[in-house]
Amino acid sequence: MIVGGHAWSRFVAVVRCQSTKTGLIPRIIRVCVRGKMQAPKNRGYVGAVESAMEYLSDIMLDSSLLHDSSFIDGRCVEPIDSLPLEHHAIQMPSRGDQGREGRTGTFLVMDPSTRTDEEAVLVELVDGGEMAAHYAVDVAARMFEQWRAVSVRNRASLLRKWSELIRNHAGDLARIICAETGKTVYDAYAEVQYAKSYVEWFAEEALRIQGDYSCDPEARVERVAVGVVGLMTPWNFPAAMVTRKVAAALAAGCTAVLKPSERTTCTALALADLAVRAGIAPGAFNVVVAKDPALVSRVLSTRKEVAKLSFTGSTAVGKMIIRQSALHVQRLSLELGGNAPLLIFSSADISETVSALVSNKVIRNCGQTCVSANRILVHDLLYDRFLAKLVQRIGELEPHNFWDNPGEDPCSPNPDASRFFGPLIHQEAVEKIELHIADALHHGAQLVCGGKRIPKIGLNFYEPTVVVGGQPCMKAFGEETFGPLFFIIRFANELDAIRLANDTVSGLAGYVFSQDSGQCSRVAQALDVGMVGINTTAISDCRMPFGGIKQSGYGREGSKYGLDEYLYLKYVRGSLSASSR
């Protein structure tokens, strides 16, 4: 059978669906010639011989957004000796004795939505390693003075053009996010809009970079771009985490070297491509593709040209970056792990609370967010009614595998979007939830619903799970679960709830549900966190400062304060002498 054109992706999707039902895995072979994304070679398993991302390109309006290697100085660059001869690669310059260091060939990215091990490969990427990181720093350092000299009005205009291109390519970007993270198309499209909002916001904030003048006419304070910045982003928001950092850095006049998660690199590469198309100077925004983030982190934290690091990820890695950055006393912004408490008091509206909680713990990336409610504290008087309503709402949810209908239009509204949820990112995430559930049950908790995998939908799908009888001694209380586990703890009074909520080394976000305005105000003040949602879990907003305290890090992203992270204050004093006027 010969299938070509845009029919290919739908053909493969149907075959995969039918093969799952019958238990047979057909051998699908496609011969094609592409200039950018290539099918993996020698993957070592029987099944479809091209990557999932390859046939995703057939339903994209602009498949040229798909790249598989580092994007530096406005173009894709690859170690020339790690590629087939048909690639017209740009060889990155060697760095003395390091020469071939970092030329480690390629690496495979696994599909979080896969149903079988045979379909597990999402895409094969070129591993730039340390050499790509060094090259990107060199390019960003060379470009810094030129980009800083661009007027704030022109920088703002370029950022607005970037935002417009993100809007125009929202459907394609959403599909890439779906493929890389497993998010539902509606969740992915919402992330693209959220990512775009940061570019729009910082385009306008660029116009507000101004200094201060005092009553002394000879003194002024200037706000100056810090220089080259190293940015490291996680996999759970592959678009929004990128624009939140990069747009702020570019607006301030900095040049950027980004190391995205190795699991969600294609989204970052697409955004970098759109930035160059918008007219942002090649070399102002560079993306390093590498399998080992520690290697790139070491380069960014030890090169004296890098003035600042901004990292979003685990607390353990954040502590390592703090130690590494001491060499050159780099400025740091760290958004680290969360362990958010959600407090439900007796006057809370049950329907409103359950709706917000389910959206936070399941609908939005299957609970894989740093502001996901990890510990749910419920007042004794509301406990039974809340639990019944929560279990009822969970029963209405359905798992959604993106590959069942990859041609679905992400831009079309769907009234049933609040019913669907996607997979966890990998098997380790599934195993962590199972560990937390087993530990809780071992210490006396009870399983109310869920607690099982959903293999017929995909290997990484897991049922939303409710566990009651939670205690501080359990792993789910002290560790961030990062998944659809509702870990419920009862409390008797307000002081008891606050004590339990603050009993953690983290301090990113917290939530209060109550119809008592005085109580909301008191508890919000008492919570040791950087952000509080009152009768809502939707706290992320480009206009507001995002960040935490304690071991959740320091610094802020978004808002006018997020721009300050990429500027330093310069005090200037003096005047022109009378003879020089």
Q: List helix spans (H) across 169-261.
A: 170-181, 185-205, 240-252
Q: What is the mean pLDDT of the chain?
A: 87
Residue 139 has pLDDT above 80, yes or no: yes
pLDDT, position 576: 66
User: Do 80 and 89 touch, CB atoms closer than 8 A?
Assistant: yes
pLDDT, position 484: 98
User: Do 228 and 328 touch, CB atoms closer than 8 A?
Assistant: no
d(CA 281, CA 541): 28
Instruction: Give residue for tokens 């000796």.
Output: 81
User: Do 358 and 342 touch, CB atoms closer than 8 A?
Assistant: no
pLDDT, position 32: 28
- Domains and their CATH numbers in the chain: 7-67+105-335 (3.40.605.10), 340-548 (3.40.309.10)
d(CA 307, CA 225): 10
pLDDT, position 189: 96
% of residues, the chain, pLDDT over 90: 78
How does pLDDT run across 315-349, given as a tens digit for each residue? 999 999 999 999 999 999 999 999 999 999 999 99
Q: Which residues of 220-229 are buried (b: 16+ CB within 10 A; e: fewer)?
A: eeebebbbbb
Q: List helix spans (H) across 260-395.
A: 265-277, 293-302, 315-325, 350-358, 383-394
How does pLDDT run across 261-309, given as a tens digit for each residue? 999 999 999 999 999 999 999 999 999 999 999 999 999 999 999 999 9
d(CA 19, CA 521): 56
pLDDT, position 50: 56
pTM of the model: 0.88
Residue 581 has pLDDT above 90, yes or no: no
- Work out the pLDDT band at 439, boundaries 50, 70, 90: very high
Q: Which residues are catalytic?
A: 335
217 versus 394: the higher-pLDDT residue is 394
- Work out the pLDDT band at 408, boundaries 50, 70, 90: confident
pLDDT, position 214: 77
User: Do 176 and 65 touch, CB atoms closer than 8 A?
Assistant: yes
Backbone φ/ψ region at 277: left (φ over 0), alpha (ψ -120 to 50), beta: alpha
Strands 219-225 and 212-213: antiparallel
Give, in order, the Cα–Cα distances in Å from 97 to each of 76, 79, 100, 141, 298: 24, 16, 8, 21, 17
- Work out the pLDDT band at 353, boundaries 50, 70, 90: very high
Residue 11 has pLDDT above 50, yes or no: no
d(CA 454, CA 113): 11
Q: H or E element: which one contains 563?
A: helix 559-564
Strands 331-335 and 306-312: parallel
d(CA 226, CA 249): 9
Mean pLDDT over 202-225 rounds to 90
Residue 526 has pLDDT above 90, yes or no: yes
d(CA 389, CA 369): 23
